[in-house]
Structures are given as structure tokens and as C-alpha cells.
Amino acid sequence: MGNTWAIFKREMRAYFISPMAYALYVIFLLLSGYFFTVGISYYAHYSVMAMQAQQYGGLPPFTETVFRNLFGDVSIVLLLMVPLLTMRLFAEEKKMGTMELLLTYPIRDIEVVLGKFFAALAVIGLMLVLTFTYPLLAQYVAGDQMEYGVALSGYLGLFLEMAAFIAVGIFLSSTTENQIVAGVISFGALLLIWAVGWGEELVSGAIGKILAQLSLLNHFEDFSKGVIDTGHVAYYILFCVFFIFMTLRVLDSNKWRG
């Protein structure tokens, strides 16, 4: 754990001594704040229309409506941002020639990978923490209609989904020494894995069910509705474990090639 912590601190320092992390935080907060404001405004608009039409029972649940859309929009924003965070993690080490030096230290590959993984996850996690003011603002606007359980479930699902994104990004960063290439293929791979479930409607039978199970988006849906399913939690954890394992195999192959 000591070596993992050392790698974690090293990567966190690298993120925050450069302007990239701060730029990503500013852009993320601006976009998420905009999406939250739009969601609240639309719900208020429909509430007024329902009151005028005296159809109070036709209003959808406030928290699920506002935060489900917010989390969906935020996950798309982070799908674009995660490759920017992960593309340098191993590609830069290879290009600078520090990868070989790092792997010759008395430190295990798994400690290196986990240190980098948790550093990227901490950066994303802090982004999400900064949006915890949104439920409080929603409580001020909606009063008793605000359900914190639904919001917290959505945050948990979003955090797990981002962990899966990071695991893929780290794996693909380990396969090349070009950061731009790592970023581009990470974005393409994440977009494919995120949306692969859309093919369920086009393909029937077992293949369609497999595509639905592989989709990161499909496993996130229940979280955004306030439902925490242990099956979905296990899926994200196993997904991360698989790509961390694949990253370790890439590092092993690099050692054998010298």
C-alpha cells in the first residue's frame, strides 16, 4: 500500500501542477451547472402549466426527472474528459523513457497501476463532490419533493461508471507511447462500450441480450432512478478488475520485449 500511495501522490501532483486539471474543473462545473439550471427551469415551467391545467397528478417525480437528466448529461461530459486524464498515465512514461526506470524500482506492477487508477478516480471524484451543492439547491427550490436517496444513488452510479471509464483509459494508455493516440482510441472505445446496448433493439435473441449487458449505459439506468442493484455494482467492479488485469498483461509483455 505504501508504494501505491507514493504513485498516487506522484500522479496527483502531476495533475495539479499543470493547468489541464483546473481547465477541466472549470469546464465541467460550467457545463454541469448549466444542465442543472436548465433541468430545474424546465420542471418549474411544466409545474406551472400543470397547475394552470389543474393536472397536479400528471407531474413526474421531481428528483428523478431533474437529476436523471443531469446525470445523463454529466456522464457524456465526463466521457469526453476521462480520456484527457488517462491518456498520459502510461503513454507519457513510455515517451519520456521513465517507464523502464519505474518498473525497475522495488515496486510491483499492480501498485503502479492502482496508484495511477486511484489518482485519476480521485480527480473525477472531486469533480462530483463539487456538485453536491445541487441537491441542496434543489431542496431549496422543490422542498419536500427533493429525495436525497435518489440523488445519492445517481452519484454512486456515476462514480462507478467513471471508474470503468478510467480503467479502459489506463489500459489503452499502456498500449502506446503517443498521448494523442491514447486519448483518441480511449474516447472511441468508451463511446462504443457506453452505447453498445443500443444495438439490442436491432439484434434479437441472445446477442441482443449480451449487447445490453455489456453496455455501461444500461447498467447506469437503475442508479439514476434511485435503485441500487448489487448486480450493477458487481458489473462495474468486475469491469474495472478486467481492464486493470489487461493493463498488467501489457506491462508484462513490455518487459519481455525489453
pLDDT digits (tens, 9 = 90+) for 155-199: 999 999 999 999 999 999 988 888 899 899 999 988 888 777 665
Cell of 246: 489487461
What residue type is assigned to position 175 of the chain?
A: T
Cell of 91: 503513454
DSSP letter for 106, please.
S
Asked which of 33-37, 67-71, 120-124 is least confident by mean pLDDT, the reply is 67-71
pLDDT band (50, 70, 90) for residue 72: confident
Verdict on whether the full-model pTM lies above 0.85: yes
3-state secondary structure at position 147: coil
Neighbours of 142 (CB within 10 A): 17
| Contacts of residue 109, Cβ cutoff 8 Å, sequence gap at least 6 | 103, 248, 251, 252
Cβ atoms of residues 11 and 120 within 8 Å: yes
Cell of 45: 415551467
Residues of the chain above pLDDT 70, percent: 81
Report the C-alpha gap between 59 and 41 in whole angstroms: 14
